[in-house]
Amino acid sequence: QVQLQESGPRLVKSSETLSLTCTVSGASISSDSWSWIRQPPGEGLKWIGHIYGSGSTNYNPSLNSRVTISLDTSKNQVSLRLTSVTAADTAIYYCARIRGGLWFDYWGQGSLVTVSS
Amino acid sequence: SYELTQPPSVSVSPGQTARITCSGDTLSRQFVFWYQKKSGQAPLLVIYKDTQRPSGIPERFSGSSSGTTVTLTISGVQAEDEAEYYCQSADSTDTYVFGTGTKVTVL
């Protein structure tokens, strides 16, 4: 059974960097593709970006200049960094596995990150 | 990028049928996937590739497609089906888009 668990600071100050880690069990991160998705309060789901097991990435153009997704194969973790955050980045952040390059089959429980001024 | 449009809300009585549409210009050539999202829980895939139901999803969930509109149908709605529902597709530019979301209320 594949399991994903997000972790990281729940409170980030405005203009600083948001960093989250997704620890994966039951699958090797180098064998699949992984995505970060977020849901701001009262809003819908938004794709942030994804990373292939090879390490290549693709990001939502609206966040492209601020986001970095990376792999740590030694720890089987997928990481998200989002720089220069504002209140608009307050959201529940999910990591998910991509299946067949088309959909998300396993999700973490989500991590609420609040950006404070 | 493109957009997927859903009705903001659908209300239905228990035992009745709920239909949720997802419209987008590119959907005639892309698969659509549907997720159920309950508060405090991770999204759950309920339909994949327009019409396929994952193992463990009740038969009352079904999907259909016609042109640029796909539909999630919940037949014989139960109280536990109250949730937000999102459609999602992936396009040829290696990006993913979610629909605007539909809140299903069971009266």
Nearest to B96 among A47, A105, A110 (CB): A47
- pLDDT tens figures, A21-80: 999 999 999 999 999 999 999 999 999 999 999 999 999 999 979 999 999 999 999 999
Q: B101: nearest CA in chain A?
A: A44
A109 CA: distance to closest CA in chain B (Å): 5
Average pLDDT on A89-114 reads: 96
Residue where the block lists tokens 């039951």:
A26
Give Rg (Cα) of chain A.
13
Q: Which residues of A touch B (CB under 8 A)?
A: 35, 37, 39, 44-47, 50, 58, 60-61, 94, 101-105, 107-110
Alpha carbon A104 to its chain's center: 13
The chain-wide mean pLDDT, for chain B, equals: 95
Residue where the block lists tokens 């960093």:
A19
Nearest to B101 among A44, A101, A104 (CB): A44
A17 CA: distance to closest CA in chain B (Å): 24
Contact A107 B43 (CB under 8 A): yes
pLDDT the model gives residue B100? 97
φ, ψ at A59 (rounded to 5°): -125, 155
Euclidean distance between the first and the last CA atom of chain B, given in angstroms as a whole number: 36
Q: Tell me which DSSP letter residue B58 carries.
A: -
C-beta separation of A98 from A104 below 8 A: yes
Closest CA to A36 of A88, A89, A116, A110: A110
Average pLDDT on B68-79 reads: 97
Contact B86 A44 (CB under 8 A): yes
pLDDT the model gives residue B1? 64
Q: Tell me which DSSP letter residue B43 carries.
A: -
- pLDDT tens figures, B12-63: 999 999 999 999 988 888 999 999 999 999 999 999 999 999 999 999 999 9
Q: Where are the beta strands (DSSP E) in chain B?
A: 9-12, 18-23, 33-37, 44-47, 61-66, 69-74, 83-90, 96-98, 102-106
Give the pLDDT band (50/70/90) at residue A112. Answer: very high
Q: Which residues in chain B have their CB less than 8 angstroms from residue A58's CB? A: 94-95
Average pLDDT on A69-98 reads: 97
Q: Is B107 on the interface with A (CB under 8 A)?
A: no
Q: Is B95 on the interface with A (CB under 8 A)?
A: yes
b/e string for A74-90 if b means 16 or more Cβ within 10 A? eebbbbbebeebeeebb
